[in-house]
Amino acid sequence: MENTKIDRRVRKTKALLLKGLTQLMEEKDVNHISVRELTDLVDLNRGTFYLHYRDIFDMVNQVEDELFQQFDELFHENASGDDSTTTLTVLTNVFTFLANNEKTVRAFMGPHGDLTFINRLKELVKTRVRHSWEDRGMAPDKFEYFFAYTATGCIGLMEAWLRGGFQESAEEMASLADVLLLNGIHPLLK
């Protein structure tokens, strides 16, 4: 029972620190955020912060690691192991992940965010898409071009969705990305 209380307190403390970090990242770059500023904002002792993190950058890295572990698990849960995994399925997984982590994603992908986050997101998706590409017998020498094109477009869509306040559902965004990737803008012209 005692262990559960401690775990709950640790989770609450980390959640409070993350809330404060994301709030500060909306205002300034992460390299301009101090531990004192963060702990003052969330009304915690600096010693409490140091029980969990070495510094702000360690906190950012740990938060990113946790997010990407969840992201990877999402892909594992939805991987069927056969040809039924479509582009739409992958895109829905990505946009659902972003929607489920809206505040953190908003901070990390926003104007004061961490470019490392976007690059890690691209690399994780790239690995997953590469497997699908190879399983379908697509030309391996064209994969880098395909992925560069699709990743840039999808990141742009994600950033626009973020700036728009996540107005559309994850499914709507995945469907839009799927149409754009597979058919270009022609179907959207009226």
What angle do helix axes 143-163 and 87-100 make, rounded to 10 degrees?
40
**Whole-angstrom distance, CA of residue 33 vs CA of residue 96:** 29
Q: What confidence tens digit (pLDDT) does each residue in 150-176 have?
A: 888 888 899 899 889 899 999 999 999
The whole-model pTM stands at: 0.79
Query: Does the pLDDT of residue 178 top 80, yes or no?
Result: yes
Q: What confidence tens digit (pLDDT) does each residue in 69-86 have?
A: 888 887 776 655 554 567
**Whole-angstrom distance, CA of residue 122 vs CA of residue 55:** 26
Q: What confidence tens digit (pLDDT) does each residue in 119-135 have?
A: 888 888 788 778 777 77
Query: Does the pLDDT of residue 149 top 80, yes or no?
Result: yes
